Amino acid sequence: MDTTEYIKNLSQQVLRTDASGMPLEWIDYRDAARLYYTNQVAYACGQPLYQIHGGFSAATGERSIIEVNSIIATMGHSTNHAERRNNYVPPVNNKTLFRRDASLCMYCATRFSERDLTRDHITPVSQGGRDVWANVVAACRRCNNHKGGRTPEQAGMELIAVPFIPTYAEYIYLKGRRVLADQMEFLLAHFPRTSPLHKRLSGHLGTGRFNSALLS
């Protein structure tokens, strides 16, 4: 199967939703083509990304062509799945934690590369703190070493922002790579109105593409 690109990078991810429009996951062009081929796509929106050319029909001699958009909705909608998603707490990992905190140290407010950030437990594990979203922030190595096994109050330090637990849609955004403007606009509509990500991202919709680790 050879591919004619509408955009130059085939690593560009496609946002998959259910039939009601709720975000589900990021998929690549192969998975998207498979969904089209098996007639699981209910509708598509967003910008066209690729044209995928398949084989020739023995009956008509015509070649099959699948146009893949940046957002595709797939068949099926489960109330139970929606309820599980509403109560979903995503796993904590450094990549999405650092993106949640915009690659900023939550103590000195300086932006760092991912390799220069650490996961800090606001209430240290040694004092009963848990490894959960509400108790972890991105911190540079210097600030984390200075804080040590103390709370911010004990160390005389202040957080620049209150940590929050990402919703399902927010977590999908945080996991994304090179998020396109139409995908971002779609996801923003599913963020809580109180989400700190609204202010951070709304001013970047005109840029066309997002790097979640670099926006502040």
Task: Break the chain into its structural domains and give their ranges.
Answer: 3-77, 94-155
Read off the pTM. Answer: 0.80
80-113, pLDDT tens digit by residue? 556 656 788 999 999 999 999 999 999 999 999 9
* CA-wise closest residue to 4 among 66, 55, 44, 53: 53
What CATH number does domain 94-155 carry, 3.20.20.70, 1.10.30.50, 3.40.1130.10, 1.10.1200.10? 1.10.30.50
Give the torsion sign (CA, 196, 108, 206, 46): negative
37-87, pLDDT tens digit by residue? 899 999 999 999 888 776 676 777 777 788 899 999 999 765 555 665 678
